[in-house]
Amino acid sequence: MRLFCEAEYEDQAQHYAAVLGSRGINLGIETVEKINSRFLRLNPELALCTDAQGLWLCANGMKMQPDWKAEIPRLKRASLKSEMLARACQLGEKPQLIDATAGLGHDSLLMAHLGAEVTLVERHPILFTLLEESLAQAQTDAFLNSAAARIKLVFADSADYLRQQTARQHRIDVVYLDPMFPQRDQNQQDHKKQAQVKKQMQLLHMLLPEQGEMDLGDELLSLAQAVAKRVIVKRPRHAGFLAEQTPDHQWLGDACRFDAYFYLPD
């Protein structure tokens, strides 16, 4: 995979190449005259680039990184009453929470802002490194630093991590699942064309493989149920149930819903 940089950011590129190399990603650094929209259009293949704002994933004329600072307006509006996610995860109780499907970390940032202690688990080396950068930047931001202090990043496969918690008999308050590639509901009658996926998600879909149970989240549900008092699954409003398992409770929004699975002790 290629890592593009302008001459003044060569040291930074070397740093990222070393970090990702230690995580199994071999990068070829290419110094270019200017990384701009035209350059990205002329180099449409999936790559990385670095500039004054850090590390970016780029392809098809676009570039993206988890933009936690852009979430600040949402965080300022958020409250335990206004956020359906907060009610579903009982964030008022300041739970110990595992986000097993990290994505761009925006939901984890919100949950940490509202009081949860969040362990954010990501297995892909590039996405983990992007999240690591976002967390480091948040730690130096006057508004985000308190939420950042409640987020711990773990570089691991979520299934393996949940199995480890089970083996240690470690019970967690909440496991949150937001599968990136939810299964299509074959019985759904509404076949209206979906809106175009946002730029960030387009690039993530290119980076992460869509096939496999883990990407669909089915296996994670049973593993999460083995360690959590409640498992909360974010789904498109009309999608089928994860692993075809009927939830114990639901919170319904206009575009999405939260399915809850509760631990019932014997």
HEC string of the chain?
Answer: CEEEEEHHHHHHHHHHHHHHHHCCCCCEEEEECCCCHHHHHHCCCCEEEEECCEEEEEECCEEECCCCHHHHHHHHHCCCCCCHHHHHHCHHHCCEEEECCCCCCHHHHHHHHCCCEEEEEECCHHHHHHHHHHHHHHHCCCCCHHHHCCEEEEECCHHHHHHHHHHCCCCEEEEEECCCCCCCCCCCCCCCCCCCCCHHHHHHHHHCCCCCHHHHCHHHHHHHHCCEEEEEEEEECCCCCHHHCCCCEEEECCCEEEEEEECCCC
Q: Is 122 annotated as a binding residue?
A: yes
Q: According to the annotation, is 171 in a ligand binding site?
A: no
d(CA 55, CA 63): 10
How many C-beta atoms surround the C-beta of residue 216 within 10 A? 17
8 is known to lie in a ligand binding site:
no
> How many Cβ atoms sit within 10 Å of the Cβ of residue 191?
6
Binding residue ranges for S-adenosyl-L-methionine: 122-123, 178
Binding residue ranges: 122-123, 178
